[in-house]
Amino acid sequence: LDEFGNQLVVNEDEGIDDVVTLNFFARQDTRDDRIFPTEGSIIGFGIDQGFVLEEDDAIFTRFSGNYTRLLPIDFFGFDPGPRTLIFNVQSGLILGDVPPYEGFNIGGRSSVRGFSGGGVSTATAFIQGTVEYRFPILSLTLFEQDIPIRGALFVDYATDFGTADEVIGEPAEVRDKPGSGLGFGLGLHAQTSFGLGRLEFAVTDDDSSELTITVGDRF
């Protein structure tokens, strides 16, 4: 049980779940660059089949999809270089008995920015959309290496379609998570030899905010 006395696992008698998951994932990536992409697309689809051992009726199936499109666009910037408009849509659905550790955690730096991880919901279904504009700001030289710096303006939105109460223990309902959320903000991105560095600040429609520093692209 969690701090509120709610169920965390399927096997209440032992308090531990032994889970086996079979995974399938397909992805097509046509971006022009893996670190600093400016055009192309990514499409991915996955199916996970989960089994909770020693619980004959505890089976879940997870479907997930992700599509990203990057479009070159002639808009504002502060330095020579590509300007890119990015659209991203993600969705998912889980059928069966869904323990809280297998639910979709909505909110956070890879979801709706401005919320903490899972701050929007933990649910069995969701859809999430992002629009982001990236533009050049300047180029630095550090240790004889050119480091392009670009800015980002973004808007994220997600909803759980009211499915938070379908997760065992209802962790999102107990914690009064909103179930849907809007986040918007700005960021600085740096192309380095070890990957894309991202500094991003976002605020949400419930007046929360978050500053994140991470390495690697979101999409």
With vertex at residue 206, the alpha carbon angle to CA 203 and CA 208, rounded to the nearest 5 degrees, is: 45
Average pLDDT rounded to a whole number, residues 108-135: 96
Residue 152 contacts residue 137 (beta carbons within 8 Å) = no
Total structural domains within the chain: 1
Handedness of CA 106, 219, 209, 2 (dihedral sign): positive
| pTM, two decimal places | 0.89
CATH code of residue 133: 2.40.160.50
Which class for 157: exposed (0-12), middle (13-18), buried (19 or more C-beta within 10 A)? middle
Is residue 121 situated within a structural domain?
Answer: yes
Q: What is the pLDDT of residues 107-118, one digit of tens each?
A: 999 999 999 999
Q: Decide if 182 contacts 194 (C-beta within 8 A).
A: no
Considering only 52-56, 58-62, 85-89, which range has the smallest mean pLDDT?
A: 52-56
User: Does residue 12 belong to any structural domain of this protein?
Assistant: no
Percent over 90 (pLDDT), the chain: 67
Is 11 part of any domain? no
In a domain, 64, yes or no: yes
Residue recorded with tokens 């960021």: 187
Amino acid at site 99: P
Which tokens go with 189?
């991105």
Segment holding 62, helix H or strand E? strand 59-72
pLDDT-wise least confident of 43-47, 77-81, 122-126, 162-166:
77-81
Do 128 and 91 contact (CB within 8 A), yes or no? Answer: yes
At 144 the pLDDT is 79
Domain span holding position 112: 19-215
> pLDDT, tens digit, for every residue of 2-28?
566 666 666 666 667 788 899 999 999
Q: Give the helix/strand (H/E) hosting 28.
A: strand 19-29
Check if the beta carbon of residue 65 is closer than 8 Å to that of residue 44: yes
State the average pLDDT over residues 93-119: 94
pLDDT score, position 51: 86
Flag whether 167 is in a domain: yes
Query: Is residue 78, in this structure, part of any structural domain at all?
Result: yes
Distance (Å, rounded) from C-alpha 77 to C-alpha 68? Answer: 22
Rounded to whole angstroms, how far apart are CA atoms 69 and 108?
21
What single-letter DSSP state applies at residue 116?
Answer: P
If you ran DSSP here, which 8-state letter would residue 172 be given? H
In a domain, 5, yes or no: no
Q: Is residue 14 part of a domain?
A: no
Does the pLDDT value for residue 1 go beyond 60?
A: no
